[in-house]
Chain A
Amino acid sequence: MKPLAPGPVVTALAALVAVFLMMPLIAVIPVSFTPNRYLSVPTEEWSLRHYRALIDNPAWAAGTWLSIRIGLVSALVSTFLATLFATGLWMIEPRFKALYMGLALLPMVAPPVVSALTLYFFLISLSKVNSFLAFDTFAGVVLAHSVMIAPFAVVLISVALSQIDRRIDLAARSMGASTVTRLVRVILPNIRFGLLSALFLTFVLSWEEIGVTLFITSVNAVTLPRLMWMGLRDNIDPAIAAISVVLLAIVVAVVLTKTLVQHLRRARD
């Protein structure tokens, strides 16, 4: 039975919304070619000066490299902890399971500004006793990002776990497999796609994290989003347009590839 297709009114409205969603992303492109030092639309002359600025100004490369390192470490840390936690819940099914889950998801559901203030409090308290894991340091940002992104990894891994057939694990257990063996040889191989998507998502979330980062960094640990924020607040720097176009190109390439592959696969089946 063919489903009822949306009518012309719904289609037209939906097209408007779709255009609305893409509009600001497209608007970034012409602005990035302005010859002026302020936000404007190029008329006669188109210039690449803001792209050149991305290469010439070492701050952009430094911010990008810092964001990549922070993203990789916090994705690994948070996915590792989330894997232990989610598989633990799945294998043991302890009492008060909902309570554990609630705490694990807290940073995801709390208002971002509350998390930001909380982690700010945490890191400036630590700054009083050490200078490694502290406010405005690499380790401090990694720790704060790990806290913020771990809940997302917990969700993805729990979803992956819920699709395993429990009887596989029961079989391993009845044949005397230890907890470690069950975890490493039975459960983890079955959720490897969930683990990969958790790693990917947590990296992206850390890579573009700004709310918390704004509170816990100042002049040393300047991540790429923090650098963009500084160029956006007062006098808008058109270099932001250039970096935005670069980021946009990456996202479009990834999403386009993934979606097309999915649709082709679905069409073939």
Chain B
Amino acid sequence: MTRTAALLGPLMLLLGLAYLLPFLGVVRWSVTLPEPGLGQYHAALTDPLVLSVFWRTLRICAVVTVVSVAAAYVVTLLWVRGSPVQRLLVELCILIPFWISVLTRAFGWLALLSNKGLLNSWLMSLGVLSQPLTLVRNEFGVIVGMVHFLIPFAAFPLATTFRGLDERVLMAARGMGASRARIFWQVMVPMTRAGVLGAALLVFVFALGFFVTPAILGGGRSVMAAELVYLRIFQSPDWGLGAAVSVILMVCVGALLALMMRQGRAGGAR
């Protein structure tokens, strides 16, 4: 008993005191500020401004999930099954961005896509454009930045899935004369469906609570739920609403994680 306390105790104590208790405090904010009651939840679910933020969040997260999982799928395919040189190059292209700070990556997109950025300067000097294209400080910029951030996170679980594929099934399809396209769509994709679903859930969960990339590339114009929390705490204070939105996010993520765990257990049993 004392052994259990001595080994597990310190971390549990830290997380209990510095995470669980204060989270309950945040929940209390959400039902007491500015006045006791469920007013902030009512506001969060009926106020058109907040609702539009939730819809935008869901829409962006859905698009980002589909695009980044699809992109990760093809790039991981080459990473796992390509020639040694291809594997090395792809691995570098996945690992280098992965280890680089999210701020540098968001800044890179600004450098590339903003009005005076590389792409616009290049297109204008070629005479293709007379006016710069607005590619950041809007929803497009947010989606590009988030897809870029999330591809490695989808690639890692997908790589595990691909490594576990039964090679003989693919060879059998090949041996019976199936074309590459047919092997891809009718053998590869169905065999990796569970892995794709897992990666998609993971990416969606990450995308939901994410606010650094949207804040920089959205430029305050296409605000997502997590950024709304930041704004309501620090810029136009409405702590109760910020806390309520946080609690709603936590509940959504909790539900998705529970789904993911059930999915994983069902996958393991098969």
Contact = CB atoms under 8 A, between A and B. Distances in A.
A and B: interacting chains: yes
A248 interface: yes
Interface string B98-125: 0111111111111110101110010000
Interface centre among B84, B208, B250 (most CB of A within 10 A): B250
B96 A13 contact: no
A11 B82 CA distance: 8
A259 B117 contact: no
A93 to B, nearest CB: 10
Interface string B1-14: 00110111011101
Nearest to A240: B107
B74 to A, nearest CB: 4
A150 B14 contact: yes
B84 A113 contact: no
B110 A25 contact: no
Interface stretch (B39-47, B191-199, B241-249): B241-249
Contacts of A110: 209, 250, 253
A175 interface: no
A92 B7 contact: yes
B92 A17 contact: no
Interface in A194-216: 204, 208, 210-211, 214-215
B18 A14 contact: no
A263 interface: yes
Contact of A84 (B10, B216, B226): B10
Contacts of B86: 11
Contacts of A91: 7
Nearest to A25: B108
Name A's interface SS. Answer: helix
Contact of B108 (A6, A7, A28, A103): A28
Contact of B118 (A1, A31, A208): A31
The listed residue with most A CB atoms (<10 A of its CB), out of B74, B183, B205, B230, is B74
Interface in A9-45: 9-11, 13-15, 17-28, 30-31, 38-41
A145 to B, nearest CB: 11
B140 interface: no
Contacts of A259: 88, 91-92, 95
A53 interface: no
B89 to A, nearest CB: 7
**Interface range on chain A: under 10, 10 to 19, 20 to 34, or 35 or more?**
35 or more
A191 to B, nearest CB: 14
Interface in A97-138: 100, 103-104, 106-107, 109-122, 125
A44 B233 CA distance: 45
Interface in B25-67: 25-26, 29
A219 interface: no
B20 interface: yes
Nearest to B147: A20
A103 B23 CA distance: 13
A248 B84 CA distance: 25
Contact of A113 (B16, B99, B106, B209): B209
Taking residues whose C-beta sits less than 8 angstroms from the other chain, chain B's interface range is 35 or more
Contact of B112 (A14, A24, A118, A120): A24
B92 A25 contact: no
A46 interface: no
B18 A147 contact: yes
B170 A25 contact: no
B110 A18 contact: no
A159 interface: no
A109 B14 contact: no
A28 B106 CA distance: 10
Given A28-B108, A254-B99, A255-B99, A150 B15 contact: yes
B18 to A, nearest CB: 5
Contacts of B229: 113-114, 116-117
B7 A87 contact: yes
A241 B112 CA distance: 12
A258 B69 CA distance: 26
Contacts of A22: 93, 96-97
Contacts of A115: 19
Contacts of B234: 215
B252 to A, nearest CB: 8
B36 to A, nearest CB: 18
The 3 closest A-B pairs by CB, nearest first: A111-B209, A88-B7, A24-B108
13 contacts: A5-B82, A6-B78, A11-B82, A22-B93, A31-B118, A85-B7, A88-B8, A111-B253, A118-B22, A125-B22, A214-B230, A233-B216, A236-B114
Given A215-B234, A232-B216, 6 more contacts: A4-B81, A4-B174, A39-B114, A112-B226, A118-B25, A125-B25
